[in-house]
Structure 1
Amino acid sequence: MNIDHLQLFVRIAVTQNISSAGKELGLSPAVASSHINKLEQSLGTRLIHRTTRQVSLTEEGRAFLPHAQQVLESVETAKSSVGGGAAKPQGKLRVTAPASFGRMHVLPALTAFFERYPNLHVDLSLSDSIIDMVEGGFDVAIRDAALNDSTLIARKLAPVDRIVCASPDYLAKHGEPKVPQDLLHHQCVNLMGLETWGFDTPSGKQLIKTQDYLRTDNGEVARDACVDGLGIIICSTWCCYQQVQRGELIPILTEFPLSAKTDIWAVYPSSRLLAPKVRVFIDFFLERFAGEPYWQREMKAK
């Protein structure tokens, strides 16, 4: 079985276009089509449906995809091991991350990452949706939610603290809530689906169904709306640490911790062998976020 053919097939599964996948690998459309034909002939089955506009995987192609990816990962690991690990990881690393966290904390780190690993290239997809890693062809995902898929492995990159906060202008106009129950009389800015806030109180967990003045599907939009005085917000410190440091947001209800906990995770498909490019990416961010993450330190230093 030809490794080049497998690489092309995996990219076709992502791009759904033979010409585009071939172009990524330096192949003409005719050569790319020939490679796929040969792969299908060697397996004795059709892997993709071809139309004039795009291609899609057959049932057999979907079943074959994770095995093809695992073979490529094993080959890359074997190549990297030659010379006692002297060779640096190379190739393309496909990463998906939440939109706000990716823009604020992954993208700014890539300059240092590329300086350390100049032979690696990164495809970075930013989305707040949970993307199927196998179907999307991703090597690693950064997520801020608990793992509920047994086919994936997760490594914790950093703890996440969340705070309740509001702008000075909002608090001057509407007053500051002293206990969670006071939130029932305040405007709130919510992420969609997270309108009920849970607090740990001396009498136990307390749930507050907030009156949302604004709902949005983007954390930075919610934060900025709060800075503009539109209401009170629950915000992860990695998202709002600069605004708190500048005094644009003020933490409130600090005596009542939020009951829901979360962390930042690096997630990758379970495999006997972890590809070197994935390992160095995860290790890089473990080092970058080590101990108390820099956003926590900077927020405390205001």
Structure 2
Amino acid sequence: MQIPDVEVFSAIAESGSLSAAARRLGLAPMTVSRRLASLEGELGVRLFHRTTRSVSLTDEGETFLPFATTLLEASEGARVSLKSNAGAASGVLKVTAPTVFGQAVIMPLIPALLAEHPALRVDLTLSDSIVDIVGLGIDVAVRIATPRDSALIARPLAPNPRVLCASPRYLERHGIPATMDALLSHRRIALHGMPFWPFMRDGEAVSMRAEGVFSANSVEAVRTASRQGLGMAMLTYWDIRDDLAAGSLCLVELEDVDPEQLFITAILPTRQHVPHRVGMFLQRLEAVLKA
């Protein structure tokens, strides 16, 4: 049942004619007649007695009138409520992000968001796996990987290059490699799902096997193993930013290759009618990343 059809019915009942209802609604008389016919066809009853001079409700029309009034009042109430919340962040903001990035970057944003927007709730899923945001009803996924699903909307937020890193203790004991070939003699820590370390040399992609003394299925485990001096790791800048600042990990830059460039990307299920809470969250996140 279409609300515009019900609005036409209500206007005819109040004004007493199709032409008066048309003037009241700012519609063509033909449009009013067509919408009334559509409503009667859907309900399977005749709602008005119509003559050349007058229009009056049938018994079925009298029965339907209070229901039509309730429908229109509910519709107006919904419009007013949604309009009043259009400039405020409200409802449940459902976000998913990689574990380390979410803990280091997104979690610090949450207290201020909740304090500034009392009607907002946050549901955060931290996972290093790619989750089905449409199936799970997630508003936005923050990913540090090449988007795979072209049906989703990808919005780049900030560069996030892969980096080689190791603990100061490891580098003191084993030296600092200067070239890609020199890496072969070093102990390497592998992340499940990335069996090869990707590099760029003179604009072309090259790689080396990442197998080594230790491997794990999470960025956090690889980062911890690297801090403990178990070997060299390839992670992304934002994964180890705090460790670099604290001095628990060091960057290792090679002379002949550069690690693959990645971006932190926001993945949205659609670009239409994006809730205000999502836009507000992405603005905050992007500001932090650019700062």
User: Residue 251 and residue 118 in structure 1: after superposition, are their counterparts in 2 closer, same or farther (change >3 A)?
Assistant: same
User: Residue 211 and residue 147 in structure 1: after superposition, are their counterparts in 2 closer, same or farther (change >3 A)?
Assistant: closer
Q: Which has the larger radius of gyration?
A: 2
1:148 to partner: Cα distance? 2.3
What's 1:94 paired with?
94
2: CA distance between counterparts of 1:248 and 1:272? 44
Question: Which amino acid counterpart does residue 241 of structure 1 have in structure 2?
Answer: R
1:245 to partner: Cα distance? 2.3
User: Residue 77 and residue 284 in structure 1: after superposition, are their counterparts in 2 closer, same or farther (change >3 A)?
Assistant: farther
1:253 to partner: Cα distance? 2.8
Map 1:1-302 to 2 at 5 A: 79-82=81-84, 85=86, 87-201=87-201, 205-290=205-290, 293=291
SS in 1 for 2:158: strand
Aligned residues of 1:158 and 1:263 also touching (Cα < 8 A): yes
Aligned residues of 2:190 and 2:211 also touching (Cα < 8 A): no
**Aligned-pair RMSD on alpha carbons?**
2.5
Question: Which amino acid counterpart does residue 260 of structure 2 have in structure 1?
Answer: A
User: Residue 121 and residue 188 in structure 1: after superposition, are their counterparts in 2 closer, same or farther (change >3 A)?
Assistant: same
1:197 to partner: Cα distance? 1.8
1:268 to partner: Cα distance? 1.3
Question: Which amino acid counterpart does residue 83 of structure 2 have in structure 1?
Answer: S
User: Residue 129 and residue 210 in structure 1: after superposition, are their counterparts in 2 closer, same or farther (change >3 A)?
Assistant: closer
Question: Which amino acid counterpart does residue 213 of structure 2 have in structure 1?
Answer: Y
SS in 2 for 1:123: strand
2: CA distance between counterparts of 1:257 and 1:78? 58
1: CA distance between counterparts of 2:196 and 2:79? 46
TM-score (normalised: structure 2): 0.67
1:259 to partner: Cα distance? 4.2
Aligned residues of 1:189 and 1:214 also touching (Cα < 8 A): yes
Q: How many residues align?
A: 216
2: CA distance between counterparts of 1:125 and 1:203? 36
Deviations 1:31-53 (A, max 9, x none): xxxxxxxxxxxxxxxxxxxxxxx
2: CA distance between counterparts of 1:217 and 1:257? 26
1:256 to partner: Cα distance? 4.2
Deviations 1:210-230 (A, max 9, x none): 341111111121111111110
Identity of aligned residues (%): 32
User: Residue 166 and residue 130 in structure 1: after superposition, are their counterparts in 2 closer, same or farther (change >3 A)?
Assistant: same
Aligned residues of 1:100 and 1:239 also touching (Cα < 8 A): yes
SS in 2 for 1:150: coil
